[in-house]
Amino acid sequence: MLIRLETSPDEIDFSYLAALTRVNAHAGTHRTLDVLARWGDMRLNPDTAVSLLAQAAELTLDEFVAAHTESVTRHVVRCESSISATYVRWAPMGSVLAPFEHRRLRFCAECAREDAQTLGRSYWKRTDQLPGRFWCDRHRLPLSETEAEEFSVAPPTACLVSGRSCGEAVVRASVDHPGVARYFQLIQALGTRPGPVTSQVAWRVYYFFAIECGVECLDIADSHEEARRRGKTLVPLAQRVFATFPAAWLECVAKLMGHHTPNDFASMLTGLRIPPPCRAPAQAYLLMLTAMFDSVSDAMSAIDRVERLPTEIPVSPLEVTRKPWRGIKKSKAKADPGPH
Ligand SMILES: [Zn+2]
C-alpha cells in the first residue's frame, strides 16, 4: 500500500519524493521508488523515476516536468558535453536519483514555518535552488543554505537551526538590481521554450551579435575595425559581464561555479568566445546572454534568429576567423526572404 500526497506549488521533485518517503515511513527514497515502480507496473531506471513521481502526484509527465523539476531552469542552456544517452527532451532525471549528493540546498526559514503551519509540511522549492537565487521574493529575506546529506529526506523545517544565511550583503546588493532581475527573467523565458538552447546556439548568438551588442568578437582586431565603421565601441566579454551584475552577487555565483578569484572567473568568461565544446557550464552562457542584451526580448529574438540559420556556418574555430556579421546578413536574407 502507498500513501500518496499532493505536490505543493513550486515543489522540486526530490522534495516530493522525500515527502512520500517520510509519510510512508520507508527506509529511504530508493525504497519509495521501488514501491512506486511496482505500483505503477514499471521498471525503475533513470528515465522512469520522474514518470513514477508524476503518477503518484496524479499529473501527466509533461505537467510534472514543467512544474516540479529543475529541468526548465538548470537545463535552459544545455552543454552538449553533459548530454548522455539517457537524456530525454528536458533531461528530466536531473535531480531525482541523486538528489542530495554533493549539493547545497537553499530555503526560506519564514516560508518553511508558514508552509508547515498551513500545509502541514515544509518543502524544498524549485525557485530557491535557481543558481544565483539567494533571497526569498515573498519575504525579501536571505535564504538559508544547508549542506545536503546523501539520501536525506529531511524537510526544511528540520534544518532551521543548521541552515546558514546566504548573507544580508549579497541580498541587499542584488534583490532590486536590474541585471540580476534580467538574468532570472531570461531563465524564465528560456524555460517556456519547447526544449533547451544548446551551448552551440548560445555561442552562435555571441558570435553573430557581439558587435551589435558592443562586445569584442572572436577576432578581436577585426571586430574593432568593423565596430569603428559602425561608430561603436567594444569591450571584452568578461568586462561586460562584470559591469552587468553587482560584484557581491557575481562573487557568490562565481564561487558556486568553482571560481574563487576574479581572474579565474574572468578567464572562464573569456573562454566563452571559443566555440563549444568548451568546459564552461551552462550558467556561464546565461550570464553572457544576460550581459550582452539590454532586454530579455532582444536576447530571445537573437536566439530565434540564430536557430533559423543554416547549421553549417560557423562550425569550428578554424572556420570562424573572419567577419561573422557578413555571414548573418547573407544567411538572414536566405532564411527570411521578404518583399524587398
Ligand atoms: Zn519566504
State in Å: Cα 224 to ligand 1 middle.
Answer: 47
**Is residue 277 reached through a cis peptide bond, with omega within 30 degrees of 0 on the bond before it?**
yes
Lowest mean pLDDT among 95-109, 127-141, 154-168: 95-109
What angle separates helix 49-56 from helix 13-23, to the nearest 10 degrees? 60
State in Å: Cα 73 to ligand 1 middle.
Answer: 20
Q: Where are the alpha helices (DSSP H) in 245-281?
A: 247-256, 262-271
State in Å: Cα 135 to ligand 1 middle.
Answer: 8
pLDDT score of 330: 45
State in Å: Cα 139 to ligand 1 middle.
Answer: 5
State in Å: Cα 93 to ligand 1 middle.
Answer: 27
State in Å: Cα 141 to ligand 1 middle.
Answer: 7
CA torsion 25-116-132-161 (nearest 10°) is -80
Q: Is the pLDDT of residue 67 over 70?
A: yes
Q: Where are the alpha helices (DSSP H) in 40-106?
A: 49-56, 61-68, 71-74
- Interval 23-48: pLDDT, tens: 999 998 888 988 998 887 877 766 67
Neighbours of 277 (CB within 10 A): 12
Mean pLDDT of 58-73: 77
N-term to C-term CA, the chain: 68
Mean pLDDT of 77-91: 39
- Interval 249-267: pLDDT, tens: 999 999 888 888 999 999 9
State in Å: Cα 111 to ligand 1 middle.
Answer: 4
User: Do residues 130 and 187 make contact, with C-beta atoms less than 8 angstroms apart?
Assistant: yes
C-alpha cell at 289: 546572454
Distance CA 123, CA 50 (A): 18
Distance CA 120, CA 290 (A): 39
State in Å: Cα 155 to ligand 1 middle.
Answer: 15
State in Å: Cα 116 to ligand 1 middle.
Answer: 12
pLDDT score of 76: 53
State in Å: Cα 100 to ligand 1 middle.
Answer: 22
DSSP summary character for residue 98:
S
Residue 6 dihedral angles phi and psi, to the nearest 5°: -85, 150
State in Å: Cα 103 to ligand 1 middle.
Answer: 21
Q: Is the pLDDT of residue 308 over 90?
A: no
Which stretch, 64-78, 138-152, 245-259, has highest mean pLDDT?
Answer: 245-259
Taking ligand 1, which is a single-atom ion, which protein residues have CB atoms under 5 Å away? 108, 110-111, 136, 138-139
C-alpha cell at 270: 573569456
Helix/strand/coil for 235 = strand
pLDDT score of 258: 84
Whether this prediction's pTM lies above 0.85 is answered by no
